[in-house]
């Protein structure tokens, strides 16, 4: 495929818009002579005259009229594609479950923007990870997995292993049935953050509690809902330590007992190998790892009364 001289074609389009070599020269920061030479080059390429001179300036010939519209549209399409590619490099698209998005990213979003003003973060939330990685929709994904399977084209990086602690409203500590020891949970509603999970059973066993039915209580679809119920004083929930920092700092929630249940579950950052060295991917990866580590450390300090 042989293309016409593109610089000359671009000059022709601008000259056709202004119907003046003088105004086209000003618009393109060229001399009038340069505009004339570009147009002459294009006329020689097509073997046709593109402009005629009239008393009030230039006019397009029939050949010029036939060329200007498709040429203008072609440059417009090229400009749109170029802008889309430029934006793609500055747009950072991340998919993650709602709770990590609300607990890790949103409270610290201003910090990310201050550190990386060159990127625009687009957060896509999805409750269940049941799709293969979609490069067309996002650059990175945060997924919760209990037994990750390696993929040849993807990098899986563990950013946070699940460490579950009990949390509740401070009102429960001083209520009718205070929470002094784990056995006191028999007087309170167990809030289950996830369906089909046995985490309360495992925690109660670890804490040496035998008089509490681990199946009783209220079950939710996500940790976020259980945390809202706990803040409202509805009962005691298990929560990942790194996700309750804000609630502990504000006093909305407290940690009644020190027992920590470490599970096989973990959150992984997933992205294609070919994107690993992309600046925006490295920036988000480093920031998220740092943010999660700080959140987990803050929860431990709160647990110890600092």
**Along the 306 residues of the chain, how does pLDDT read in single tens digits?**
678 898 999 999 999 999 999 999 999 999 999 999 999 999 999 999 999 988 778 999 999 999 999 999 988 888 766 665 665 667 899 999 888 999 999 999 999 999 999 999 999 987 665 567 787 788 899 998 887 776 778 899 999 999 999 999 999 988 788 899 999 999 999 999 988 789 999 999 999 998 899 999 999 988 999 999 999 999 999 999 989 988 998 999 999 999 999 999 899 999 988 888 889 999 999 999 999 988 877 665 555 553
Partners of 171 in beta bridges: none
The matching CATH number, chosen from 3.40.710.10, 3.40.50.620, 1.10.10.10, 2.60.40.10, for 6-89 is 1.10.10.10
Q: Cα separation of 24 and 4, whole Å?
A: 20
The matching CATH number, chosen from 3.20.20.150, 3.40.980.10, 3.55.50.30, 3.40.190.290, for 97-305 is 3.40.190.290
Q: Round to the nearest angstrom and report the end-to-end CA distance of the chain.
A: 72
Q: Cα separation of 121 and 253, whole Å?
A: 30
Angle, helices 32-46/21-28, rounded to nearest 10 degrees = 110
Radius of gyration of the chain, Cα coordinates, nearest whole angstrom:
31
What would the 3-class secondary structure string for the chain be?
Answer: CCCCCHHHHHHHHHHHHHCCHHHHHHHHCCCHHHHHHHHHHHHHHHCCCCEEEECCEEEECHHHHHHHHHHHHHHHHHHHHHHHHHHHHHEEEEEECHHHHHHHHHHHHHHHHHHCCCCEEEEEECCCCCCCCCCCCCCEEEEEECCCCCCCCEEEEEEEEEEEEEEECHHHHCCCCCCCCHHHHHHCCEEECCCCCCHHHHHHHHHCCCCCCCCCCEECCCHHHHHHHHHCCCCEEEEEHHHCHHHHHHCCCECCCCCCEEEEEEEEEEEEHHHCCCHHHHHHHHHHHHHHHHHHHHHHHHHCCC
Residues of the chain with CATH 1.10.10.10: 6-89
Residues of the chain with CATH 3.40.190.290: 97-305
Q: Cα separation of 296 and 164, whole Å?
A: 11
C-alpha torsion sign, points 263, 160, 291, 91: negative
Output the pLDDT for position 306.
39
Q: Cα separation of 62 and 114, whole Å?
A: 55
Tell me the pLDDT tens digit for each residue of 130-173. Answer: 567 787 788 899 998 887 776 778 899 999 999 999 999 999 98
Output the pLDDT for position 185.
95
């Amino acid at each position: 495929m042989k293309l016409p001289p593109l610089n000359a074609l671009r000059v022709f389009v601008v000259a056709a818009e202004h119907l003046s070599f003088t105004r086209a020269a000003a618009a393109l920061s060229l001399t009038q002579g340069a505009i004339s030479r570009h147009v002459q080059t294009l006329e020689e390429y097509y073997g046709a005259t593109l402009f005629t001179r009239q008393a009030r300036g230039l006019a397009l010939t029939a050949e010029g009229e036939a060329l200007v519209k498709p040429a203008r549209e072609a440059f417009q399409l090229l400009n749109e594609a170029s802008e889309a590619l430029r934006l793609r490099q500055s747009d950072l698209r991340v998919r993650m479950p709602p709770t990590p998005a609300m607990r890790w990213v949103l409270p610290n979003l201003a910090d990310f923007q201050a550190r990386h003003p060159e990127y625009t973060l687009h957060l896509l939330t999805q409750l269940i990870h049941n799709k293969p990685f979609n490069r067309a929709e996002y650059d990175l994904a945060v997924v919760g997995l209990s037994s990750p399977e390696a993929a040849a084209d993807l990098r899986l990086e563990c950013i946070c292993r699940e460490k579950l602690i009990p949390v509740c409203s401070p009102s429960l500590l001083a209520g009718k049935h205070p929470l002094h020891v784990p056995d006191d949970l028999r007087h309170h509603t167990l809030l289950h953050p996830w369906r089909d999970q046995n985490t309360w059973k495992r925690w109660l066993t670890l804490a040496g509690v035998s008089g509490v039915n681990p199946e009783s209580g209220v079950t939710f679809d996500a940790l976020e809902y259980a945390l809202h119920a706990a803040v409202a004083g509805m009962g005691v929930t298990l929560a990942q330590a790194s996700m309750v920092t804000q609630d502990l700092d504000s006093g909305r929630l407290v940690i009644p007992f020190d027992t920590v249940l470490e599970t096989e579950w973990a959150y992984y950052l997933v992205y294609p190998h070919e994107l690993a060295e992309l600046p925006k991917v490295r920036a988000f990866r480093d920031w998220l790892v740092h943010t999660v580590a700080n959140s987990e450390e803050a929860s431990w300090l709160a647990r110890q009364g600092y």
